[in-house]
Structure 1
Amino acid sequence: MHRFTRVVLSAFVFSATLTPLALAQNLPTSWVDKDTGHRVIRLTNEPGSSGFYFNVNAYTPDGKEMVYNAPDGIHVMDLATRKTRLLVPNPPRPENTDGASGLRLGVHTIVVGKKTPSVFFSKFDAATKTGSVYSANVYTGAIKKLATLPPRANVVTVNADETLAAGTYIEGKGADYGEHRVNPPGVKPGFLVQPQNKGQMMEQRLAAHLPLVLFTINLQTGKMTTLLHSTDWVNHLLFSPSDPTLLMYCHEGPWQKVDRIWMIHTDGTHNTLIHKRTMAMEIAGHEFWGLDGQTIWYDWQYPKGEDFFLAGYNLQTHKRTAFHMQRNEWSIHFNLTKDLDLFTGDGGDPGQVAKAPDGEWIELFHPEMLKVTGINEPDFWQPGVFHAEHLVNMSHHNYRLEPNVRFSPDKKLVIFTSNMFGDSYVFAVEVAKAVNPSASEIHSTPALAKQFNPVDPTPLHTPAAKK
């Protein structure tokens, strides 16, 4: 009998006596998706492990190591050997902590540096209710404290030359974002998990008009610089991967109620709106940088829930590009390669904004620019289309956990997080189809996942009102 088949048949027999980690090691590690022909690989063994948010760099500058999160701390994976090691351990979590309070405790990755092989992370002190920023060298393990933040401040991004971090804090004694987070049933808390009450929370937070400060902090001197005072909800901060003086951020809230995507320089100048809405119920968001730092990409719907594009704005040429896709091809998040020859998306269940009846797939997109034969002007959108290819059938994944796709540095894998086996793990799927796989390797991904996680995710597909 093939080893993989033995694992499937024996998993339930030993589950009662195995520790969570030992049980995870008995889960399938590789198979070929019957519906797509692509090989799926489970990369991590730690139950509750997850990759980074889709627009946050997870790779060392040499492209050899990937950083990911797990309940016991920050881990590093050698992408060539797929061996993992714990880099920064999490301190023990106090009992009776859950929701937002539990999420704040411990160590939290910010980003992997673009200049040095450093993982930047924050650590919250429950006693003083303040956080500090640290770096950990991926190869030596050396940890260095960089800056102490003022009370209630949080930093979420580090610039390209690793001199500045940026974040926000609420002035005064008003409520903090996330204090009333409600986790969805059947999904464990985590930073990639949509809260059950997200729509209500976003409406309330937008309407609160809390006095907020957008700031940078110098990681060498500790000097703080205020970029903005605002009563708008500022969120989704992300430094350019190439220009250390350029910060992208958003005006958060229900997307149809805000002009969302902005950028500002680190001296507080050139505060610029990237996409101005021109239609009622038009939305644009989940913005991210192209890997060369020249283009800002984002999900554009014109109008919301009806017509779907991945839009790009080139900061140098001011050219705007829009790749059209069908309803079932829309994804919560998108990502791309540096040379823009391939894009990827993580799909979505019927409860997401697209309400796609068959959208639960990890997708590979082959972009095509359309030939323009008529009138064209410099300020016109340049049209393109996505030709979608299914990579993984995700119908046994609960989409309250967002998969957050990204390409590996060599473009051979699409890496994502999934709870198809119950707990979340980091997975990868090969971009190229499997060549002559044996019959014992080919499995229906939903059917396989159901053997280890009998819970049907379908009843949990409730409208997320996520935008």
Structure 2
Amino acid sequence: MAQWILAALLMASSSVSAQTSDEPPTSWIDPDTGHRVVRLTREPGSASLYFNQNGYTADGKHLVYTTPNGISVLNLETHQAREVVQGRARLIDAGRKTPRIYYTRGDAVFSTDVDTGETHRIAALPPRGSIATVNADETLLAGTYIEGKGQDYNNRRPRPSRSGEQAPAAQQSHSLDQPRNKGQMMEERWAARLPMGLFTVNIETGDINTIHRSNDWLNHLLFSPTDPTLLMFCHEGPWHKVDRIWTIRTDGTQITKVHTRTMAMEIFGHEFWGADGKTIWYDLQTPRGEDFWLAAYNVDTGERTWYHLQRDEWSIHFNVSRDGTLICGDGGDPGQVARARDGQWIYLFRPELIDNRGVQDKDFVQPGVLRAERLVNMSRHEYRLEPNVSFTPDQKWVVFRSNMFGETYVFAVEVAKAADSLE
């Protein structure tokens, strides 16, 4: 990627001037932050993955992303892209062990080798089922299904209303946008208490095994990136009404609650694994919309660390670099829970622990703070599309999706300032 930057600097003026009036620039230095931003994708409507999905191939060389026409991979060094899956598909994850990507199409789940194009149909999905995650050694997939015909979130599988008409569709202008009536739909889906099953799929045999049943809304499944038998999931719904974050073993045992509320209106969510596969990170607010933390929980030791941040620095999603030394966030507009007045930025955070010079107790939360640096001015971005930040495997770039130029594309901002990266 460094070679590309040097070339881009020499060509910047000509490349920007060569842009057509309706095509976004391919590279620029943000005048408010001094950081270089590049547009990685050329296809309008292209998008990087949700923040907690693995969007990088096992060798760390390619970004996996979606387009209106299928699934593509982009070489992070040369920025050359190629399509690997043609046609409508829902991308799940890139494998952490092999060069395969996993996705669903219709009522089945597939994998494709991004190097050879070889494709394998793994299994048919259960009725009303979906797949969310792939485990560390690529032996299992995990997903959920709804039992019966109850109306799901976003009016999927809607049932007729009393008048005989279908329920109104979600107020959503783009497939990646959050619906305007999301809050209402979350409340209704949570209150429905639909019976659900959490299941695994054996990637080699296609065998399906239901490991947990519940009337809680099971969602946000995510395997540990290092422990192939450890699965995180959530009880979805309005955050102030649920005990959200849980783990379970793939044999259905050791169901463990990760966080226990200690005050009214305390909320926590948007959980994700650190690269060590032992740390669960999550947004914590004590109480909702007033005091903001990025919390970490070690599943082996039970140790907890809470990093404090300011209202304007709160982000819809956070992510952590592979070595755990850097954190990124995608900010938020005034309509988000933090009600930030100046929060529309892509952020870089450096975590600092507070030195404990007092009572030592292993049950105490270890406090810290996040020192923020702004990377990209997102004032032109419409936040109904969540940017979903992630670090590249070399930790030198933060990747995000944005509609700042109208259409959605995938962008990356350099962690180092532009002048520093050339020294």
Could you say whether these structures have the same fold, taking a TM-score greater than 0.5 normalized by the shorter chain as the test? Answer: yes
Deviation at 1:5, TM superposition (A): 5.0
Which position in structure 2 is the counterpart of 1:128? none
Dislocated runs of 4+, deviation >4 Å:
none
Q: Is the 8 A contact 1:214 1:234 kept in 2?
A: yes
Deviation at 1:3, TM superposition (A): 2.0
Q: What SS does structure 1 have at the residue aligned with 2:34?
A: coil
1:293 matched to which residue of 2?
277
Look up the SS of the partner of 1:178 in the other structure. helix
Shift of 1:150: 2.0
How much is the aligned-residue C-alpha RMSD, in angstroms? 1.6
Rate the CA distance shift 1:5–1:119 in 2: closer, same or farther, 3 A.
closer
Which residue number corresponds to residue 41 of structure 1?
38
Distance 1:7 1:310, change over 3 A: same
SS of corresponding position for 1:435: helix
CA shift at 1:222, angstroms? 2.0
Give the Cα–Cα distance (whole angstroms) in 2 for the partners of residues 260 and 422 of structure 1.
35
- After the TM superposition, which residues 434-445 of structure 1 pair with which residues of structure 2 at under 5 Å, given as runs? 434-435=418-419
Residue 224, structure 1, aligned to residue 208, structure 2: yes
Change (3 A) 1:207 1:82: same
- Is residue 367 from structure 1 mapped to residue 351 from structure 2 by the alignment? yes
Residues 1:68 and 2:52 are matched in the alignment? no
| Equivalent pair of 2:224/2:230 in contact (CA under 8 Å) | yes
What amino acid is aligned across from residue 41 of structure 2 in structure 1? T
Residue of structure 1 equivalent to 2:17: 6
Offset, 1:392: 0.2
Question: Is the alpha carbon distance of 1:389 and 1:181 closer, same or farther for their aligned partners in structure 2, counting shifts above 3 Å?
Answer: farther
SS at match of 2:153: coil
Q: 1:6: how far off?
A: 2.5
- What runs of 5+ residues in structure 1 fail to find an aligned partner? 16-25, 91-105, 125-130, 438-467
1:443-458 maps to which residues of 2 (within 5 A)?
none
Note the 1:12-411 alignment, pairs <5 A. Answer: 26-90=23-87, 106-124=88-106, 131-179=107-155, 181-184=169-172, 187-190=173-176, 193-411=177-395
* CA contact 1:368–1:387 (8 Å) conserved in 2: yes
TM-score (norm 2): 0.92
Contact preservation (8 Å) 2:322, 2:393: no
| 8 Å CA contact 2:153, 2:186 repeated in 1 | no
The structural deviation recorded for 1:4 is 4.4
Aligned-partner SS, 1:204: helix
Indicate if the aligned counterparts of 1:202 and 1:253 stay in contact, CA closer than 8 A.
yes
Q: Measure how far apart 1:182 and its partner are.
A: 1.9
CA contact (8 A) 2:225 2:275 kept: yes
Question: Partners in 2 of 1:417 and 1:213 — Cα distance?
Answer: 32
Superimposed CA distance per residue, residues 205-245 of structure 1 (whole angstroms, 9 cap, x where no aligned partner): 01001111111121222222112111111100001111111
- Aligned mates of 2:108, 2:14 — CA distance in 1: 47
Q: 1:181, 1:197 within 8 Å by CA — same for their partners in 2?
A: no
Measure the CA separation in 2 of the matches of 1:348 and 1:241. Answer: 28
CA deviation string 1:304-345 (max 9, x = no partner): 000000000011221100110000000000001122111000
Give the residue type in structure 1 aligned to 2:124: T
**Does the 8 Å CA contact 2:58/2:96 hold for their aligned counterparts?**
yes
Matched residue of 1:207: which SS? helix
> Aligned to 2:154, what secondary structure does the other structure show?
coil
TM-aligned CA distance change 1:66 to 1:328, over 3 Å: same
Q: Structure 1 residues 205 and 245, CA, compared in 2 at 3 Å: closer, same or farther?
A: same
Asked if 1:418 is matched to 2:406, the reply is no
Contact 1:323 1:384 in 2 (8 A): yes
CA displacement at 1:376 relative to structure 2: 2.4
* Identical counterparts, % of pairs: 59
**Kept after mapping to 1: 8 A contact 2:152/2:189:** no
Report the secondary structure of 1:312's partner residue.
strand
Cα offset for 1:137? Answer: 0.4
SS in 2 for 1:49: coil
Aligned length in residues: 399
Q: Distance in 1 between matches of 2:360 and 2:264?
A: 25
> Matched residue of 2:188: which SS?
helix
Partners of 1:328 and 1:358 within 8 A in 2: yes
For residues 162-199 of structure 1, give each alpha carbon's deviation from its aligned partner in whole angstroms, at most 9, with x where no partner exists. 11111111111212332265244xx5222xx2111100
Mapped contact 2:218–2:234 kept (Cα < 8 A): yes
